[in-house]
Amino acid sequence: MRRPHCHMGMKDDVRQDVCALDESVSAEQRTLLGLAYRMLGSIHDAEDVVQEAYSRLYAMPEEARRDIRAPIAWLTRVVGRICLDQLTSARVRRERYVGEWIPEPLRDHGAWSSTRAGQADPADQVTLDESVSMGMLVILESVTPAERVAFVLHDVFGLPFTEIAEVAGRTPQACRQLAVSARRRLAEGRARPLAGVERHRHVVSAFKRACESGDFDDLVAVLDPGVSVHTDGGGKVRAGLRAVVGAAKVARLFAGLLRKQPGLEFAEESVNGRPGIVIRLHGATVAVVATEAGGDALTRIWVVVNPDKLHAWTGRY
């Protein structure tokens, strides 16, 4: 989406008012985009949803728009409803997807972190950074659309269940149970504690060095015995259709990749707010690797090679 910008050539006081409005709208858009991305796991779809929400707002008669006392709250509910519809249809589309479907990786996760829309019970909330991690987004794919909407709106963005009920078309009590169910599923998916950021970064650095050297033993040393690798090629790039599980198998996978493509370059970058790796060939990004670590080893690895999901790194839209 194009963001508004300050216009030059205006009187100072007018320009300040316009700039303040621009910043307000930009912050509003970031909040809505962050919400839609956490719902759908796709930057492109999130932008489409937010654009549709604004279109609905401005398609209303002017008098009706003036009656909306809190436009951001109205837009949040509309984005939630559109996402709920899209999540339902997305399940059907992903059944036809070639191989595993992995959420689109984020490059600048800070642009998708925003102020909460409300204030919920801190004990039930997750941080905005955590909610955009690849691990959480993948687990959210396993809950129902209604559970995901209730969880994201309440636990991440702090909306009260009375407002979520308007989005989901259910009672506030039912929405509360949906969020509880999603929370339980997330807890089950996180059976072991995650490594802190610094430890995680240290493990990713060691993994990068092992990949560059191609040393099998070094690769195994930074991989958890039960590590799993999930690859998303979308049928457009050759990729494994199923997860590869086990340190030895995963080490052989990366060692084999290096033998086939000796010119690959590995760079450490933040992927969805966590330490990750970007793989380039002759300067062009060919894969983005998101990781999860526990202790001193990688526990889960997601490799996105579908070019349609690499736009943030390739600059092609």
Q: Could you report the per-residue pLDDT of 13-37, keeping only the tens digit for each? A: 434 433 443 455 567 888 899 999 9
Q: Is residue 72, in this structure, part of any structural domain at all?
A: yes
What pLDDT does 137 receive? 95
What pLDDT does 110 receive? 58
- What is the tens place of the pLDDT at every residue in 164-187? 999 999 999 999 999 999 999 998
**Side-chain half-sphere of 240: how many Cα atoms within 13 Å?**
15
- What is the tens place of the pLDDT at every residue in 74-123? 999 999 999 999 998 887 788 788 889 999 999 875 555 544 444 444 44
Query: What average pLDDT score do residues 300-317 get?
Result: 88
Cβ-proximal residues to 165 (8 Å cutoff; 6+ apart), any chain? 171, 172, 174, 175
What pLDDT does 119 receive? 45
What pLDDT does 123 receive? 45
At residue 301, what are phi and psi to the nearest 5 degrees? -130, 130
What pLDDT does 91 receive? 77
- What is the tens place of the pLDDT at every residue in 235-264? 888 888 899 999 999 999 999 888 888 889
Residue 185 shares a structural domain with residue 227: no
Residue 229 shares a structural domain with residue 310: yes
Residue 208 shares a structural domain with residue 234: yes
Residue 25 shares a structural domain with residue 113: yes
DSSP β-ladder status, 264-271 and 297-304:
unpaired
pTM: 0.85
Cα(14)–Cα(26) distance, rounded to whole angstroms? 18
Percent over 90 (pLDDT), the chain: 62
Residue 164 shares a structural domain with residue 295: no
Count of structural domains within the chain: 2
Q: Is residue 183, in this structure, part of any structural domain at all?
A: yes
Q: Is residue 257, in this structure, part of any structural domain at all?
A: yes
Query: What average pLDDT score do residues 197-219 get?
Result: 94
What pLDDT does 308 receive? 94
Which residue range forms the structural domain that includes residue 218? Answer: 197-314
Query: What average pLDDT score do residues 46-75 get?
Result: 92
